[in-house]
A and B are shown apart, each in its own frame.
Chain A
Amino acid sequence: MKQKKEGHATTLADTSERLRKSEDRYHKMIEEVEDYAIILLDEEGSILNWNKGAEKIKGYGQSEVVGKHFSIFYLPEDRAAGMPEMLLNEAKTNGKATYEGWRVRKDGSKFWGSITLTALHGQDQEVIGYSKVTRDLTERKLAEDQLKAIAEQLRKKNEELALSEERYHRMIGEVQDYSIILLDVNGIIQNWNVGAEKIKGYRVDEIIGKSFQIFYREEDRQRRLPQQLLAEASKSDRSIHEGWRVRKDGSEFWGSTVITALHDERGNIIGYSKVTRDLTEKKLNEDKLKEYVHELQQRNEELDRFAFAASHDLQEPLRKVQTFADLIEQNPGDPAAVTRYVNKILTSADRMVSLVRSVLEYSRLSKTVSMKVETDLQQILSDVLTDFEVQISEKNAIVNIGPLPVIRAIPQQVTQLFSNLIGNALKFSTGAPVINISAKKVSRDDINCVSEFLFALEYHEIKVSDNGIGFEPEYAEQIFSLFQRLHGKHEYSGTGIGLSLCKKIMDNHDGCICAEGRPGEGATFNMYFPILKVPA
């Protein structure tokens, strides 16, 4: 029994000892925990116990703090709001309360504490106290706050950006006079504005996802102009180009384009902006102006040549009149000489008259004076031949006329044209002249004349050829110059204006004339009148 008793006592003591040791260890464990303040409160909230963590976090030594109410760790405003009591109540009611918030250290500094208050219960489930575990999460809190602040900043910035982007989109979207589009790196259209629709004719849904090459002419696409412009923009940040572009309906406009490369923060190209303005009107005005300038220059040059040649050719007969009159004066007693010089004076005067007439004719050949009408060349030619009836029969000339077309022309001028050519063919002949006149349609590429004005695709070719004296091929162009003659005045009469008149008449008809010839083998004059496609 004793043994038993002893044994029992030993067991109890052992147990008690073991328990005490275990509690000790337990106490130690809690005491030594540094990262958590673990404190024990009585049911009123007064501090019973203190560990290293609590000292470390809150700055008080155990002796300073035991017996004090745990509300000393709270901010005055939290205390005033009754927060410590509320937390105790919550823990009392729910078994525990958790809370995060600013707490005060002994030195008055603050830390962000994360607390868990747990109610401790006695045998009868009554609350006998609380454990309070606090962790200093100041660093995490600060980091969190900073993150939150950054996030908030970002959110605000995004909001601003979104607003600005929307305004920007709206601004670009509603610009009407410029086509402003966004291309990806491959030139695929990403974005489209009202101006683009207005200028190019495509709606947004038709064009997004297509290549911007669609706006270029076939020949420009073939010579890879679109790619070249992108390449240039990649290299030099932007490329500027003016040229004809194609609308959806196939019509063309004169576009002035700036392609700008867009870069990301690392400098990689992420796409292109392409701003195009329709300068068709400006271009057409410029072209018209250029045409006027060109025409004026030509007129001026013509006038210069005219004044130069006229000063010479018109002076010549006058000078002769003076000289022969002078000679008559010096030879009053020589009737034969006087008669001879008087005749020379008359010849010179005649020449002067015909020169002045031709010059007048030439200067009257202005485009603006006469209107083009449907003109039957067959009829014109038969009228011209009637005028030459006497000469034709005198020279036993044969004139063969093939079927001739009806063309849009100035009747007086084509009359003059045929009149000059038939007149030349009759004049520059040795035997009986044979003159052939024929017509056919040719394409522009078949025309051998030197001319910069051939705009039509098809032309009426009118050929006038003779079997006369011809000319050296090297003079084929010169003969159309004003006052240009290939023969002495005493061999063949003439003013040197006839063929320049013909050339001017062909210019007035947007056509051209050129000649082929060989000495002794006759001359051929080819004239080309444009065939205009009249819109139905």
Chain B
Amino acid sequence: MTERSIQTCFVIDDDIDDLEIFAMALQKVDDSINLRSASDCTLALKELKENVSYVPDYIFLDINMPKMNGLQCLPEIKKIPHLKDVKVIMYSTSSNEELKQTTRKLGADDFLVKPGKLGVLVNHLNRILEKPKS
């Protein structure tokens, strides 16, 4: 297994099942990665803003969430000064091309469609996390 510099990931998703599946997959990729999660964008933003010392390597962001959705949340994350180098990966059931374009314009680094198999998700995460950090 390649040596990784990645230590922490943050995932924002209102779906408890999806959070569980994501945690399972990430553990399979590298069980040393620290994962924190939030089920609500408002709460996530509050935590990320207040905890200045917490700078995750990646933030995985669901799109379809109650109240503030991922598209509204993304620019808010990008505004947080100490998170300006953090890679934000959209994480959604939708595979809509237009939506992908929109998130790219808003500053997302990648777009991960939630797959139907755990193995597929593990492969995607491997691909994303192996990319050298720019």
Question: Footprint of B on A, CB under 8 Å?
Answer: 308, 311-313, 315-316, 318-320, 322-324, 326-327, 330, 344, 348, 472, 475, 483-490
Q: Which residue of A lies closest to B13 (CB)?
A: A488
Which residues of chain B have C-beta atoms less than 8 A from A330's C-beta? Answer: 118
A312's closest neighbor in chain B, by CB?
B94
Report the minimum CB–CB distance from A483 to chain B (whole Å): 8
Bound-state Cα–Cα, A348 to B66, Å: 18
Identify A326's interface contact among B16, B94, B114, B118, CB under 8 A: B118
Q: How far is the CA of A485 from the CA of B40 in the complex (A)?
A: 12
Q: How many B residues touch the partner, as a band?
A: 20 to 34
Binding site secondary structure of chain A: helix
- Contacts A312-B93, A316-B93, A488-B40 given; does A323 touch B66 at CB 8 Å: no
Query: How far is A333 from B117 in the complex, measured between Cα atoms in Å?
Result: 19
Residue of B nearest to A348 (CB): B17
In the complex, which residue of chain B has the Cβ closest to the Cβ of A321? Answer: B116
How many A-B contacts are there with CB distance less than 8 Å?
55
The 8 A CB mask of B85-124 against A (1 = contact, 0 = none) is 0000000111010000000000000000011111100000
Q: Does any Cβ of A come within 8 Å of B39's Cβ?
A: yes
Look across to chain B and name the residue whose beta carbon is closest to the beta carbon of A309: B64
Our pick among B16, B39, B114 for the contact of A319 (Cβ within 8 Å) is B114
28 residue pairs A–B, Cβ–Cβ below 8 Å? A308-B94, A308-B96, A311-B94, A311-B96, A312-B64, A312-B94, A313-B64, A319-B114, A320-B17, A320-B18, A322-B116, A322-B117, A323-B21, A323-B115, A323-B116, A323-B118, A324-B17, A326-B119, A348-B17, A472-B67, A483-B64, A484-B66, A486-B66, A486-B67, A488-B15, A488-B16, A488-B40, A490-B16
Query: Which one of A319, A485, A487 has the highest number of Cβ atoms from chain B below 10 Å of its Cβ?
Result: A319
On whether A326 and B116 interact (CB within 8 A), knowing A312-B93, A344-B17, the answer reads: yes
Asked whether A315 lies within 8 Å of B93 as measured between CB atoms, the reply is: yes
Point out the residues of chain B lying under 8 angstroms from A475, CB to CB.
67
* Chain A residues with CB under 8 A of B93: 312, 315-316, 319
Taking A308-B96, A316-B93 as known contacts, 8 extra A-B pairs with beta carbons closer than 8 A to each other, sorted by chain A number, are A320-B17, A322-B117, A324-B17, A348-B17, A486-B66, A487-B66, A488-B14, A488-B66
Q: Contact at A319–B116, with CB atoms within 8 Å?
A: yes
Contacts of A488 in B (CB 8 A): 14-16, 39-40, 66
The distance from the CB of B103 to the nearest CB of chain A, in whole angstroms, is 14
Q: How far is the CA of A324 from the CA of B24 in the complex (A)?
A: 12
